[in-house]
């Protein structure tokens, strides 16, 4: 008797499917789902889902979400909501953080045509929790009918040449139908606030960028993750100013207009812990702007839809919302010289 997940809408940025009007359009998911197969599973498009799924051990035993009923955090039911959220949007690529049940996800998503890899944090806080299911870490899944896996590389992120407790995963994929290759990366940077931690995240961000720069081999790049940093933090600028990769943020691009600078959405996570309410943007999908155009992003639920207890809840299995973006490969004549 699981309550239904709240339906979210895609904000389509460019006219498609015979649209004649210009500009931003909001389409209901049920409208889009009938046409998205054609557009998104085309070899010229990629749909990416980025999500911190909330580790089962941390969510149940560590986070202390004071307004979330205990039953909503029960793994036996929550796990199906996690899967439902992923499968619902038919992503081609799935980047996840705080995964501490990889075997379950690999098994279930495997039945839906996905394959994936997982890399744990070296000293995951999950390991210190009674009844844990192993360390949490980052995972990337991809649709096997769309991509051939060429390479995976994992890294324990370094800060001033010393290993930290955070990781990154890089995957190189080839679109089977066209031969187009891409490089996808995911990471989960150090949590908590404070000037030192913000500096530490910036160093970790630089390490992620160096790691991707080493392995992308000139291919189009998508970097997704929970950066644990608001857009005002140094690491956000570091990513956006990376000369080697020329990255842009998909959700910020989707809000871009001629007379305003790009802005991120108001929140990607919204929770109430004992110490208070936290509502901010710390999750991102970055992409190499020379190679991709953002065609649509999945909007976030409103405060009203989320409800007063915020998330996680019976309707939303994580304290983070999923970010879903549709990319189109740029044509040769759209690519900057
Ligand atoms: P981080 O600071 O990166 O955070 C770990 C997790 O805690 C993240 O997944 C984060 O979620 C979550 N988190 C963030 N803020 C809060 C909060 N206010 N309350 C509860 N959870 C929160 O940790 P590290 O990976 O650096 O690991 C911490 C270190 O602490 C480990 O090296 C381990 O050795 C040690 N440790 C020891 C324990 C012990 O009992 N001895 C117990 C736990 C950790 P998000 O990213 O979503 O914000
Ligand atoms: Ca967390």
What's the ipTM?
0.93
The Å distance, Cα 81 to ligand 2 centre, comes to 17
Ligand nearest to the CA of 269: 1
Cβ of residue 165 lying under 6 Å from some atom of ligand 1: yes
Number of alpha carbons in the 13 Å side-chain half-sphere of residue 205:
27
Pairing of strands 181-188, 221-226: parallel
Q: Could you read off the pLDDT of 109-127 as tens digits, one per residue?
A: 999 999 999 999 999 999 9
Contacts of 279 (CB under 8 A, 6+ apart): 266, 267, 269, 270, 271, 310
Residue to mutate, 191, 200, 233, 270, ligand 1, most ligand atoms under 8 Å from C-beta: 191
| Structure-token match 């379950």, residue found | 104
Answer whether 100 contacts ligand 1 (Cβ < 6 A).
no
Q: Which domains, and CATH codes, for the chain?
A: 10-17+26-334 (3.60.10.10)
Is the pLDDT at 36 greater than 60? The verdict is no
Reported as a single tens digit per residue, the pLDDT across 191-225 is 999 999 999 999 999 999 999 999 999 999 999 99
**Rounded CA gap, 324 and 8, in Å?**
11
User: Which residue, judged by its Cα, is nearest atom 20 of ligand 1?
Assistant: 63
d(CA 149, CA 117): 11
* pLDDT band at residue 5 under the 50/70/90 scheme: low
């Amino acid at each position: 008797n699981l309550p239904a997940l709240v339906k979210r809408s895609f904000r389509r940025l460019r006219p498609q499917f015979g649209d004649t009007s210009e500009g931003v359009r909001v389409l209901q998911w049920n409208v889009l789902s009938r046409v998205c197969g054609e557009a998104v599973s085309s070899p010229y498009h990629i749909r990416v889902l980025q999500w911190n799924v909330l580790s089962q051990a941390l969510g149940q035993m560590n986070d202390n979400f004071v307004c979330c009923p205990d039953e909503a955090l029960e793994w036996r039911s929550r796990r199906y909501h996690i899967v439902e959220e992923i499968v619902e949007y038919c992503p081609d690529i799935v980047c996840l953080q705080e995964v501490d049940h990889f075997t379950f996800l690999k098994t279930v998503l495997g039945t839906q045509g996905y394959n994936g890899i997982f890399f744990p944090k070296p000293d995951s806080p999950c390991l210190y929790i009674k009844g844990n299911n192993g360390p949490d870490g980052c995972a990337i899944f991809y649709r096997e009918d769309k991509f051939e896996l060429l390479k995976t590389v994992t890294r324990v992120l370094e800060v001033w040449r010393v290993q930290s407790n955070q990781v990154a995963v890089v995957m190189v994929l080839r679109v089977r139908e066209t031969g187009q290759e891409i490089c996808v990366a995911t990471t989960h940077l150090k949590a908590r606030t404070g000037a030192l931690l913000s500096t530490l995240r910036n160093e970790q961000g630089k390490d992620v960028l160096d790691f991707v720069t080493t392995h992308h081999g000139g291919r189009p790049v998508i970097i997704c993750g929970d950066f644990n940093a608001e857009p005002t933090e140094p690491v956000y600028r570091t990513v956006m100013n990376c000369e080697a990769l020329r990255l842009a943020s998909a959700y910020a691009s989707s809000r871009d207009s001629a007379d305003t600078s790009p802005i991120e959405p108001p929140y990607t996570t919204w929770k109430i812990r004992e110490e208070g309410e936290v509502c901010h943007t710390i999750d991102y999908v970055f992409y190499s702007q020379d190679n991709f155009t953002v065609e649509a992003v999945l909007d976030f639920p409103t405060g009203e839809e989320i409800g007063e207890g915020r998330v996680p809840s019976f309707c939303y299995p994580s304290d983070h919302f999923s970010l879903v973006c549709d990319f189109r490969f740029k044509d040769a004549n759209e690519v900057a010289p």
